[in-house]
Amino acid sequence: MFRRLLTLAAGTTLAGAAALAIATPAHAAVADVTFGPLSIGDYCHSRYPAAWIGFYESAGLRCYSGSPSPQQYVGSGDPYLACKYLTTDVVMSAFRGTSDALVCRVVR
């Protein structure tokens, strides 16, 4: 009798745990991830080997080299693709943040 009760209790516990594992779906969270000039520079360097720094200016995402003392414009990039390059999260959008930062809205 005791063995049957123990088996029934164990089976019920396992069934309850399985039901909870199935019934609790994962919830995605939306987050804003900010990248500064050096991080943007990693993306820029992948497109333009001379570039090492980047800013998301009013004219768009722009890449600069810094070998000569003043920064030299080398080319521009796509903010959305920069986000895809810089994060493994699912990227929803990209926009300009404070101090010419790149802000990526992602789903985690």
3-state secondary structure of 82: helix
| Residues 18-41: b if buried by 16+ CB within 10 A, e if exposed | eeeeeeeeeeeeeeebebebebbb
Long-range contacts of 90-95 (CB under 8 A, 24+ apart): 92/30
pLDDT confidence of 6, banded at 50, 70, 90? Answer: very low
Q: Report how many domains make up the chain.
A: 1
pTM of the model: 0.73
- Does residue 63 lie within any of the structural domains? yes
Q: What's residue 96's pLDDT?
A: 97
**Does position 9 have pLDDT exceeding 60, yes or no?**
no
Would you say residue 93 has pLDDT above 50? yes
Mean pLDDT of 50-71: 90
Among 8-12, 45-49, 50-54, 55-59, the range scoring the smallest mean pLDDT is: 8-12
Domain-located, residue 57: yes
Domain range for 61: 30-107
Q: How many CB atoms lie within 10 A of CB 68?
A: 7
